[in-house]
Chains A and B, each alone.
Chain A
Amino acid sequence: MSVVVVDYGRGNLFSLGQALRKLGTEPVISDDPAMLARADRIIFPGVGAFGDAMVGLRQRGLIEPLRAAARSGTPILGICVGCQLLLTRGDEFGQHDGLDLIPGTVALLPEPQAGDPAGVRIPNVGWRPLDVRKDAPVVGSLKPDDWMYFVHSYAPMVDDENDIAATIRINGADIPVAIARGNIVGVQFHPEKSGAAGLRLLARFLEAEIGS
């Protein structure tokens, strides 16, 4: 199986690569559109700001190849900013167009009310429990004790709630942190940094029948 990790200069690919190797998969870390076209699985990581990440994709000519791979049914997993880029647009530092593989907008997390003891400071950094939609692809396999590691100020607010695979509770709101539509899956958290539970999620993405 060819697992391609998309390298567009906006991510710490090392940890993700190590996690996949731990699972017995040697990933192809590449910015080559031809590799994307041949991939059995595409993992699309990312850190930093939405607009800057899109610039990284555009400079390497990866926007259309990613869309083509999505249309052809290749399972794609977006992680963190990679998840956000799957959406229609982002609001960070101005309006930016995303890949538009799942309709929605990337928006700032709600701030805590002053003095709220349950308040979550933004950026949301740490391990959190998830509310998982049981029938969601890949993410639906997570159990209540499988907390995930987050570091983010923005979240993927999808237009259609059927595309929500998991949420977390932040400052009074249920915030989507995993999304799925057909062969496209996105997670706002970092499975490659979420211990044994995170590794199992990655394994699930590599093994599961997705979108078919």
Chain B
Amino acid sequence: MPAPRLIARLDIKGSNVIKGIHLEGLRIVGQPGPMARRYYDDGVDEIIYMDTVASLYGRNNILPVVEDAARDIFVPLTVGGGIRTIEDIVAALRAGADKVAINTAAIARPEFLREAAETFGSQCIVLSVEAKRRGEERWEALTDNGRERTGVDVLSWVAEAEQLGVGEVLVTSVDAEGTRRGFDHDLFRAVRACVSVPVIGSGGAGQATDIVATVVEDGLDAVACASLFHYEQCPPQMLKAHMAEAGIPVRPEASA
């Protein structure tokens, strides 16, 4: 198994990192600058910045945060929330992002994904899906940080998005998000089976064993952690140690 990527996910509201449950009931957990720096020093493989209110207000105020991070954090940075136009992507890349995660604007107009992938390359375009369980093997895609229903089926949507050229899929379980009770493994497996591009799972991890289970059993390429890191329950290096113990390859600390 190639080493799965461990990603720190920072949900941003205004100038704060926030965390909710089921993407609601948000509370402030810290400041993005110091938190990102701490995770970088502790060995996370990537960082995702998600502007939780960008779609709501039709603006994007997360870029100064990213620009600041890009000065001394040298791992891939992804920006999501409020990416609606080619110009938004240009602005995110100029601020230091390597990839953008797109949800609401892609559901509204799927062709946007194709245009974005053709302009910037697939490696730059991540489909972000907020999945709400609606049945045995059925999930509905939500938008606007879990606030809006769409009627769109998650599994057919991720397959379509891959055809349109996205390079990765970030799937967040709205049901499990923030609960720290473990992942929606059915969801991750189902999405994994629908696409061949890398899949990043997010939402629900409460302990290291949840991460181990999903990369071993669900075949995920990457996991995005928020609560697990934010509450210092299991910082990146501790998580890596647990994974290594379970026989999963992890990136060592670089030699000094």
Contact = CB atoms under 8 A, between A and B. Distances in A.
Given A15-B96, A151-B123, A196-B254, A126 B222 contact: yes
Interface in B206-250: 221-222
Interface string A99-119: 000000000000000000110
Among A18, A127, A193, A197, the most chain B Cβ lie within 10 Å of the Cβ of: A127
Contacts of B40: 195
Interface residues of B, number: 35
Contact of A47 (B2, B121, B197): B121
Given A47-B124, A126-B4, A195 B197 contact: no
26 contacts: A12-B98, A18-B71, A18-B74, A22-B72, A47-B121, A48-B121, A117-B1, A121-B197, A121-B221, A125-B168, A126-B45, A127-B3, A127-B5, A127-B45, A127-B251, A144-B255, A145-B252, A145-B254, A146-B255, A147-B251, A151-B123, A151-B167, A192-B74, A194-B74, A194-B75, A195-B74
Shortest beta-carbon contacts, A-B, top 8 = A197-B254, A143-B255, A145-B252, A127-B251, A48-B121, A147-B251, A151-B123, A145-B255
What is the interface residue range for chain A against chain B?
35 or more
A117 B168 CA distance: 20
B2 A128 contact: yes
Nearest to B99: A151
Nearest to A127: B251
A29 interface: no
A contact patch SS: mixed
Interface string B90-104: 000111101000000
B70 A147 contact: no
Interface string A132-152: 000000000001111101011
Contacts of A12: 93, 98
A198 interface: yes
A18 B96 contact: yes
A206 to B, nearest CB: 16
A35 B196 CA distance: 43
B5 A193 contact: no
B167 A123 contact: yes
Interface centre among B2, B121, B123 (most CB of A within 10 A): B2
A19 interface: yes
